[in-house]
Structure 1
Amino acid sequence: MFNDTFDFVLSNSMNNLEPNEKLKFLNKYTCKKYTHGRPITDVKPSTFSSNIFLASYGVSDSISYTEPDGYVLVWNTTMNNQPEFIFISQPAVCTALFDKYNPHLIIGGTYTGNIVLWDIRAKQKPVQKTLFSGQSHKYPVYCADVIGTQNAHNLVTLDIDGRLCNWSLNMLTNPSYVIDLKKGNKEISCTSFSFQEGEIDTFYGGTDEGILFQAQIHGNKAGITHDHSIHNGPITSTHFHPLIDKTADHNDLILTCSVDWSCKLLSIKKPNNILYTFDSFEDYLTDVKWHPTHPGIFAASSSNGKIRLCNLSTDIDLSFFETTLINTAINKMAWSCDGKKLIAGDADGTLTLWHASSDVYQPRADDIAKFDSKIGK
C-alpha cells in the first residue's frame, strides 16, 4: 500500500497467468521518431534494475541525410512508447551494453569500428569515442564486454576481422593492447563471444565458419589456443551458464546457436564431446540465452519470429514453451537481471516484453536436482 514503486498492472498480469503459460505478453516498445524501420542490433538488461533495458539500432533505408545512422535507447518497462534516454551515433550501432560497474555509462560498438561511450548525465552525443588508427578497429564491432572487478575492470572488444582490443574506460583514445586473432595464418571472422563469470583472461568465440574457439588475452599464449568445428554455418550467439547462488557447478556449460537451424550444448572441459544438439527448429537461430536464476532453462530465438523456452530439468527433447511474433524476425533478446522478464528486439525496431511465470524464475529443489542428474549423464 505504501510502496510507490509497486506495479499493480504487472501484479494482475502475474496473477492471470494460465498454468501452462510460461511467458505472459506485457507490452511493446517503439518510438516512430527514432526506431521506425531500424533493425534492433542488440538488447541488454541493466544489472541495477529489472525494469531497465537498452536497445541499439542500425541504419534504416528510409532515413534522411540529417539523421544519424545509429541510436541507443534506454527503455523503462513502466513507460509506454517513450524511451527514458536517447543517445545518438553517427555510424550505425552494432552492439551496446551497460557498464556493469557504473550505472551512468553505456558502451557501444559501431559499424565503422569506433567504440563510443555515453553518459546518461550528459547529452545525447558520446562523451568519448575512439580514434581511427593502426591500433584500433577498422571493421564492424559486434562483440564487447566489461571484465574485471569494481576496482579494476577493462573493456574488451572484438571486430569481424579478428582484432581484439583491450581498453581503459577512462581513456578511449588508444587501446591498452591489441591482439589479432588467427587460426594458423588465416584471420578469423568473429561473430560472437562469451566470458565465464569472473573470468578475465580466457574467452570463447564463434566464427562465420561455424567454429567455436578458445582464446587468451594475456601471457605468452595470447591468441587462439583451441578451435572446434561444431556448426555448419555462422555462429550467431554463445552464452555461458551463469553463476546461480554464486556456485560454479555448471559454469563450464556453454550454449551456441547458428544459422544451420541448431543449438548445441557443450562443456568447455571436453568441447569435442557435444552434450546435446537441439535441431528441431524451423529457421535460422539468432540468439540463445540461459535463464539467470533457473539452472535448466534457456531461451532461443529464430528469424521466423519464434522464441522457444527449453527446460533441461524436465524434458530435453520437447520445448517447455513457445511464443511467436507475427511477420517479423527476432534479432536479439535478454532476460532481466531477476529473470522475471524477457524482452526481444526485432528487425523492425520493436521491443516486445513478456513476464515469466513463477515456475520459470523460482526453480524448485527437484528442478535443480533433475538438471544436475541430466547433465551428469
Structure 2
Amino acid sequence: QVNTDRVKVQSRGVNHVEGGWPKDINPREADQTARFRKKLEKDEHYISVVTQLGTLMEHCVKQNNAIDIYEEYFDEEEMIEVEIEPPSAKTINAIRDPNTAKRTATHLSWCPDASKKLAVAYSILEFQQNKTDMSLDSYIWDLENSNKPELVLKPPSPLVTLEYNPKDSYVLVGGCYNGQLAYWDTRKGQLPVEVSTVEVSHRDPVYGTIWLQSKTGTDCFSASTDGQVLWWDIRKLSVPTERLVLDISRKGILQQALGAVTLEFESTLPTKFMVGTEQGIVILCNRKAKTPAEKITCTYSGHHGPVYALTRNPLYPKIFLTVGDWTARIWSEDAKESSIMWTKYHSAYLTDGCWSPVRPAVFFTTRSDGTLDIWDFLFKQSDPFLSLKVCDEALSSLRVQDNGCIVGCGSKLGTVSVMEISSVLCTLQRNEKNLVNAV
C-alpha cells in the first residue's frame, strides 16, 4: 500500500428531457413555455434562421425520397462465411451428483440471463427403486465453479422436471415424483416458496412443466402419466386454474386417458400445445377451445413406445421433432398421416432430443448406450453428422444453451457432461433457412 493525496472527484451532468429552456423557464408550466415561444417567434432573427434552415431541410427531404437509405445491398450479410471444417465437440465440464446413492439427472434447464448456471433435477424413475436414504435434493450449478452446487433445492419429493422462468431468472418451477408442483425464488433460499397440495396435484410423477407467456409471468402448466394436464398460477398453488383429461375419444374419462411423458409449448403459438404420451401418440391441443372435447385437435402416431422428447423447430414452429423407441422423427403439423423424415433404427433406445436454437436443420439425440448424436438433415439423413461417446452409462436428458454452442447431457448415474461444439454446428449456413422452409 502507498499513501497518496486523496483526490476528490465529482460527476456532473444535465438531464436533457424537455428541450433547452432558459433556467428561469419551468418546462412543466404550459403558460411559461407558451409565452416564451410567442416571444421567440416575434424575433426578426428567428424568421431569417428558419428560412435558412428550411432550404437545407428541403434538400435532405428530396434526397431521402430519391434514395432508399434502408435498402439491403447484401441479403446474406447475417450469414457468416465459415471455412468448411470437420464437425467436432469437446467436453468442458463434468458435474457429478454429490450424493453417494447415485440418481438419474432427469432434467436440465439453462439460466435465461446468459450466465453459465445450470439447474439439474435428480430422481430415480424406476418403479419402487427409491431408497429410504436417498436424497431428495436437486441443484443449481455454476459452471465457473462446479466443485459444489451454487444452491441446493429441497423439494418435498424428488424432482423429475425443473424449469427456469424465462422472464425472471431467480424463479424456478419443479414437478415432483409424487405429483406435486413447487416453485423456488433463489433469493429466498433452499426451500420452495409454495407447494401444491397433494389432493389437487397429479397422481403420478410430473414429467413436464413449462412456463406460459403471460403478463404476470407466473403462469405455467404441467403434465403427468396420470393422464392430466393442469394449469397453475404459482402465486396460488392451492388449486389448478384449469384441467384437461387426455382422453383422445374426447369423452373426458380419466380411466381412458393417455399418460403424458413430454410436454411442448412454443410462445409464438400461444393457443397451441403438444403432449407426447406413453403409448407413442402425440396429441395436438388448443387451449382456447370452448369445450374440453374441442381442446384435443388431432393426434400423430409413429412410435412403438413412449415419446421421450417432443419439441418444435424454433425457427419453423410448424415442424416438430419426436424421439421414442429406436428412432427420431420429424413431422409437419399439416401432415398428420406420417412423419416427413426419420432416422434409421438404432441398436440402442433413444432417450431425449432437441433442436439447435440457431440452425434449423440441426438437431441432437441421446441414446441409452451413452452416445450423443448431432444430425444435419441437409447434409445427411441416414447417419449423424457427428457421434460422440459421452459416457458408459445411459444418457437420460439433454439441453442446448440459447447460443447453440454449449450442450448439456445428463446420465443415469447423475453425471452432467457439458460440451462445446464446433462453429460449423452452431453457425447458420448459406441458404439454410430457404432449404429447410422448402422441406
* TM-score range normalised by the length of the shorter chain: 0.7 to 0.9
Q: How many residues align?
A: 346
Q: Per-residue deviation at 1:239?
A: 0.7
Could you say which residue in structure 1 is the equivalent of 2:321? 255
Report % sequence identity.
20
Deviations, residues 30-86 of structure 1 (Å, cap 9, x unaligned): 142x37511111111122125121110014968654x64x22211122113322111
Which whole-Å CA distance do the structure 2 matches of 1:293 and 1:35 have between them?
38
Q: Using a 3 Å threshold, how does the CA distance of structure 1 residues 224 and 64 change in structure 2: closer, same or farther?
A: same
Matched, 1:299 2:364: yes
Q: Amino acid of the residue matched to residue 140 of structure 2?
A: V
2:119 to 46, 54, 59: 54
Which whole-Å CA distance do the structure 1 matches of 2:385 and 2:104 have between them?
28
Pick the structure with more strand per residue.
1
Residue aligned with 1:56, SS:
strand
2:300 to 202, 209, 228: 228
Q: Per-residue deviation at 1:104?
A: 0.8
Unaligned regions of 5+ residues in structure 1, if any? Answer: 1-17, 244-249
Which whole-Å CA distance do the structure 2 matches of 1:270 and 1:196 have between them?
19
Which whole-Å CA distance do the structure 2 matches of 1:368 and 1:153 have between them?
34
Which whole-Å CA distance do the structure 2 matches of 1:367 and 1:175 have between them?
42
Could you say which residue in structure 1 is the equivalent of 2:86? 20
Give runs of aligned pairs for residues 25-104 of structure 1, distance below 5 A: 25-32=91-98, 34=99, 36-59=101-124, 65=133, 68=135, 70-104=136-170
Unaligned regions of 5+ residues in structure 2, if any? Answer: 1-83
Does the CA-based 8 Å contact 2:300-2:338 persist in structure 1?
no
Does the CA-based 8 Å contact 2:230-2:243 persist in structure 1?
yes
**More divergent stretch after superposition (101-110 vs 188-197):** 188-197
Pick the structure with more helix per residue.
2
Which whole-Å CA distance do the structure 1 matches of 2:117 and 2:100 have between them?
18
Give runs of aligned pairs for residues 271-310 of structure 1, distance below 5 A: 271-310=336-375
Give runs of aligned pairs for residues 1-377 of structure 1, distance below 5 A: 19-32=85-98, 34=99, 36-59=101-124, 65=133, 68=135, 70-133=136-199, 135-151=200-216, 154-184=219-249, 185=253, 186-222=256-292, 223-243=295-315, 250-259=316-325, 261-373=326-438, 375=439
Does the CA-based 8 Å contact 2:225-2:278 persist in structure 1?
no
- The structure with higher relative contact order (CA 8 Å, sep 6+) is 1
Residue aligned with 1:264, SS:
strand
Superposed structure 1 runs of 4+ greater than 6 Å apart: none
TM-score (norm 2): 0.74
Does the CA-based 8 Å contact 2:344-2:383 persist in structure 1?
no
Q: Using a 3 Å threshold, how does the CA distance of structure 1 residues 178 and 367 change in structure 2: closer, same or farther?
A: closer
Q: Per-residue deviation at 1:367?
A: 3.4
Deviations, residues 248-286 of structure 1 (Å, cap 9, x unaligned): xx2100000112x01110111222231111124221111
Does the CA-based 8 Å contact 2:87-2:425 persist in structure 1?
no
Q: Using a 3 Å threshold, how does the CA distance of structure 1 residues 213 and 49 change in structure 2: closer, same or farther?
A: same
Q: Per-residue deviation at 1:353?
A: 0.8
Determine which structure has more spread, i.e. the larger CA radius of gyration: 2
Deviations, residues 186-214 of structure 1 (Å, cap 9, x unaligned): 21111112112323322111111111111
Does the CA-based 8 Å contact 1:304-1:329 persist in structure 2?
yes
**More divergent stretch after superposition (355-364 vs 176-185):** 176-185
Does the CA-based 8 Å contact 1:36-1:348 persist in structure 2?
no
Residue aligned with 2:433, SS:
helix
Deviations, residues 15-43 of structure 1 (Å, cap 9, x unaligned): xxx942421111201142x3751111111
Could you say which residue in structure 2 is the equivalent of 1:14? none
